[in-house]
Structure 1
Amino acid sequence: MASSEQSHVPAEVKAEISKLELPPLIHRDFVEISSDTGDIVRVMQWNILAQGLCGGADNFMKCPKEALEFESRKLRVLEEITRYCPTVICIEEVDFYPYLFECLSKLGYAGVYSEKPDSPCLYQTNNIGPDGTAILYDTSKLVLSQSDSKILKENGQQSNHVTVIAQFQTKTKDPKIFYVGATHLKAKRGYEEKRKLQGQYISNYLQENCNDAPVIYCGDFNAEATEPVYSVMKSCSIGLNSAYTLLSKNNEEPKYTTWKIRPKGEECHTIDYIWYSNKGLKVKSVLNIAVEEEIGKNRLPSLKYPSDHLSLVCDFLLL
């Protein structure tokens, strides 16, 4: 296993976290999948948990109130992102994008952001604005060639969910072109068909617009691997695989990417994915899923972790 810590965390963030006397973030390690070498792109996928959705009727039952306060959470989100030095960052439920963009731009990141047409955050008291999906990238390593933001459609009808897709070119001796996309599909049980239709829209878009170069597509799909939308993505004609199945000998998804305690009970399942195309990409390493002991008995979020979703991080070899 390779160390998870490359620590790009800004000194001022470390200092503020130290003042708050917060515990270290959940520890995780990278698992090497391939010993091959070459041009590497590190991609992070993470639903960071919108600040506007930290309260309300479906709140996190065992999470200390201080762990949900914005002044500490925004630091912990930034800490989690920067400690892995990702080349590309795909994040959902982003309702404090100006803060993240300002901080990350000082580290050389730029980005593309798209709000939901009608964000649920706006219906919560003390919200800080609408949430959306963003892709940020390390400008020292990549050039943004083009980007697109689309409202997902379901049988031709506009939904309340978006996707962001960007085409990048590496700043290497032999420049390579690839696409990265991100999305956040409809949540909760009973919306399986809606998620399937949203997935079909994404699959069709990728087939029609991103068939000329490798594709990495990330998101909180709010769907387990047994749902139709998972099959839709897997059967996309550009040939998509789920990176985190490589942690399993049987090519199965992890047991969980989110683990929380709601009023109706405990929720522990995998709904977040990093998909990648067969063409032009190979997984070099994958950030392991945190073990139960690290997560803790009160689950997520917590003082050790600012979101109810674990970040997913993969190193891809560009072939």
Structure 2
Amino acid sequence: MDFTVMSYNILAQDLLEDNMELYRHCRLEVLDWDYRCNILLEEICRWAPDILCLQEVQENHYDTQLYPALTQMGYNCAYKKRTGNKTDGCATCYRSNCFSEVSVTLLEFFRPETELLDRHNVGIVLLLRPLVYQGSKVSAKGSLLCVANTHLLFNPSRGDVKLAQLAIMLAEIDSVVKSWKAKGEHCNVILCGDFNSVPHMPLYQLITTGELYFQGIPAWMVSGQKNLSHKTDCHRLFAPLWPSSLGISDNCQYVTASEVDESHSPIVCPGGKLQYSHNFLLKLRFCSVSCVRPSDLQVIPGVTDNTPDMSSRKQPYVQRFGPIIRHQLDLESIYNHTLLDCNHSEVTTLHCEGGATVDYIFYSPERTLSSDQAAGGKFGSEGLKLVGCLSLLSGDALWSMEGLPNHTFPSDHLCLLAKLRLDLNAPS
């Protein structure tokens, strides 16, 4: 089954009007929302993607214009507005004649109990199953497809926040994949969005290599959007990157309450006082003083003759959260980030302050099964095969078209489009 995926930051009108200095090169008519909306819908209709991941989707425009038009084109849609007073969010849409929806999770990265996560970005994780037509019969068949869509924080100096937001996204995807693997089903992953990070920098490396050694690196270097090395007070990253109260390990996986060191996550009660849980207080039974047997203690079999096993005590969270963060998802970028014909860098966004690549489609690449997997009764390969993608442009080419937005492209971002092949007979 071949299917297409589009990822597109469509530039919310409220954000455009709040940052008009970025678009002083543009003709006024191309900044009008109704004008941009018509071009946007024409572009979506032209490419007709089977899966569509949008960012910077303004809520009132989604309700009154985009959702009605997309449903008329045959899409089912999920939308999540950013929290707080933000007016835009993310939307993930899929053709109802290509996929059936298994589940949808709307993620909020703002966590009031965690000082680090005080920004209002969001994400969507959608689980789909392909629809197969055999004559007049329609059936859901083949590997599951986990489609994730997000827009990470822009601030170039807050790489620590970006990594924590990404960890939430990866933990949710990992949870979906593992839950279906436990049921004997393989789940391919597509991760789309505006990551506000340039290629080959630490955040990108974490996604594509599965690990990142972060100890001591400047926070601005995580995304590489701006070189802030001239600043003498640059914040640097040290373990743990986020508090245990987030419930996510340094493997970007959810952890159970029993695995979290509660000494670092007291409950905040009304009035600002801290209160430790009963389970935490019980741990004090095994402090060093409690393990010293008084000389006059009467020995009672089964009561006072036992010594607490200190080896079973979990390491403190700071020790368990090491200088490396990892994830177990096998992901590659659809794009190479360099134009083949001229060796210039691809650009996905451009305005008066310059152009860069910050938008991506990551996917589970096709892998041949190991001999151990083949011995277990599985044969062939798993993953998605990249058939092709829509070429991006260089910054010079876009400036020759009067920059972005213009009469051809309605946003300050270009759309990313890829064709992927899913083996419906792949082992589950």
TM-score bracket relative to the smaller structure: 0.7 to 0.9
Q: Distance in 2 between matches of 1:231 and 1:198?
A: 15
Alignment counterpart, residue 328 of structure 2, candidates 237, 260, 265: 237
Partner of 2:119: 159
What SS class does the counterpart of residue 388 from structure 2 fall into? strand
Does the alignment pair 1:171 with 2:145?
Answer: no
> Do structure 1's residue 50 and structure 2's residue 12 form an aligned pair?
yes
- Matched residues in 2 for 1:287 and 1:109: separation? 21
Structure 1 residues 223 and 165: alpha-carbon distance in aligned structure 2, compared to 1, 3 A threshold: same
| Distance in 1 of aligned mates of 2:9 and 2:167 | 21
1:145 and 2:102 are equivalent in the alignment: yes
| TM-score calculated relative to the size of structure 1 | 0.77
2 CA distance for matches of 1:245 and 1:311?
Answer: 15
8 Å contact from structure 1 (residues 169, 178) kept in 2: yes
Specify the alignment match of 2:66 in structure 1.
Answer: 100
- Retained in 2: the 8 A contact 1:244–1:253? no
Contact 1:144–1:169 (CA<8 Å) still a contact in 2? Answer: yes
- Residue 167 of structure 1 aligns to a residue whose secondary structure is strand
Q: Secondary structure at the match of 2:18?
A: coil
Deviations 1:249-300 (A, max 9, x none): 7xx9953111211xxxx31110000010134211111000035435525311
Q: How many residues align?
A: 266
Among residues 218, 223, 227, which one is paired with 2:201 in the alignment?
227
Q: CA, structure 1 residues 153+118, in 2 after alignment: closer, same or farther (shift >3 Å)?
A: closer
1:147-174 CA distances to partner (integer Å, 9 max, x unpaired)? 1101126795463111101111111157
Equivalent position of 1:214 in the other structure? 188
Match of 1:269 among 356, 359, 372: 356
Higher relative contact order (CA 8 A, sep 6+): 1
Cα distance in 1, alignment partners of residues 387 and 337 from structure 2? 10
Q: Distance in 2 between matches of 1:162 and 1:199?
A: 10
Aligned to 1:26: none
- 2:349 equivalent to 1:258: yes
Q: Which of the residues 134, 144, 148 maps onto 2:91? A: 134
CA–CA distance in 2 between the matches of 1:113 and 1:297?
32
- The alignment status of 1:116 with 2:82, answered yes or no, reads yes
Q: Work out whether residues 386 and 419 of structure 2, in 8 Å CA contact, stay in contact via their aligned partners in 1.
A: yes
Contact kept, 8 Å, 1:196 with 1:232, in 2: the verdict is no
SS in 2 for 1:186: coil
Offset from partner CA, 1:63-112 (integer Å, 9 cap, x none)? 11111112211101111111101001000000121211101111111100
In the superposition, relative to structure 1, how do residues 253 and 133 fare at CA in structure 2: closer, same or farther (>3 Å)?
Answer: farther
2:50 maps to 1:67: no
> What is the distance in 1 between the residues matched to 2:191 and 2:354?
25
**Where does residue 87 of structure 1 map in the other structure?**
50
2:39 is aligned to 76
| SS of 2:336 mapped into structure 1 | helix
Shift of 1:215: 0.5
* Letter paired with 1:316: L
Structure-1 separation of matches of 2:171 and 2:204: 14
**Structure 2 counterpart of 1:192, one-letter code:** G
Q: Which structure's CA Rg is the greater one? A: 2
User: What does residue 34 of structure 1 align with?
Assistant: none
Check the 8 A contact 1:119/1:131 in 2, yes or no.
no
Give the aligned residue type for 1:274: I
Check the 8 A contact 2:347/2:393 in 1, yes or no. Answer: no
Could you list the structure 1 runs, at least 4 aligned residues long, displaced by more than 6 angstroms after superposition.
246-249
Contact 1:192 1:228 in 2 (8 A): no
Q: 1:51 to 1:253 in 2, by over 3 A?
A: same
* Greater Cα shift, 57-66 or 77-86: 57-66
Q: Which residue of 2 aligns with 1:287?
A: 390
For the 8 Å contact 1:141–1:170, the answer to whether it is kept is: yes
2:167 aligned counterpart, secondary structure: helix
Unpaired runs of 5+ residues, structure 1, are 1-38, 121-129
Q: Cα distance 1:247–1:283, how it changes in 2: closer, same or farther (>3 A)? A: farther
Of 235-244 and 50-59, more deviation after overlay is shown by 50-59
RMSD: 2.3
| CA distance in structure 2 between the partners assigned to 1:295 and 1:175 by the alignment | 46
CA distance, structure 2, for counterparts of residue 142 and residue 42 of structure 1: 12
Query: Post-superposition shift, 1:207?
Result: 1.8
Q: Secondary structure at the match of 1:205?
A: helix
Q: Give me the identity figure in percent.
A: 27
The 3 A distance-change label for structure 1 pair 301 and 158 is same
Q: Which moved more, 1:131-140 or 1:284-293?
A: 284-293
Higher strand share: 1
Instruction: For structure 2, list consecutive stretches of 5 or more residues without a partner in the other structure.
Output: 134-139, 182-186, 211-326, 366-381, 424-428
Q: Which residue among 267, 281, 296 is the counterpart of 2:400?
A: 296
